[in-house]
Amino acid sequence: KQEVTQIPAALSVPEGENLVLNCSFTDSAIYNLQWFRQDPGKGLTSLLLIQSSQREQTSGRLNASLDKSSGRSTLYIAASQPGDSATYLCAVRGDSSYKLIFGSGTRLLVRP
Amino acid sequence: EAGVAQSPRYKIIEKRQSVAFWCNPISGHATLYWYQQILGQGPKLLIQFQNNGVVDDSQLPKDRFSAERLKGVDSTLKIQPAKLEDSAVYLCASSTDLGFGQYFGPGTRLTVT
pLDDT by residue (tens digit) across B47-58?
999 998 999 999
| pLDDT band (50, 70, 90) for residue B1 | low
**Residue B100 neighbours by CB under 8 Å, 6+ apart:** B31
Planar angle of CA A109, A66, A60, nearest 5 degrees: 50
Of B92, B87, B84, B93, residue with least CA distance to B110: B87
Average pLDDT of the residues in B3-10: 96
Please give the residue that has the higher pLDDT: either B100 or A71: A71
Of A43, A99, A104, nearest to B41 by CB-CB distance is A104
Among the partner-chain residues B56, B91, B98, the one whose CB lies closest to the CB of A43 is B91
The mean pLDDT of B93-97, rounded to a whole number, is 91
CA distance A64 to A21: 9
Q: What pLDDT does residue A41 have?
A: 79
Task: Read off φ and ψ for residue B83, nearest 5 degrees.
Answer: -115, 165
Chain B hits for A4, CB-CB cut-off 8 Å, are 42
Question: pLDDT of B7-53, one tens digit each?
Answer: 999 999 999 999 999 999 999 999 999 999 999 999 999 999 999 89
State residue A62's pLDDT score.
97
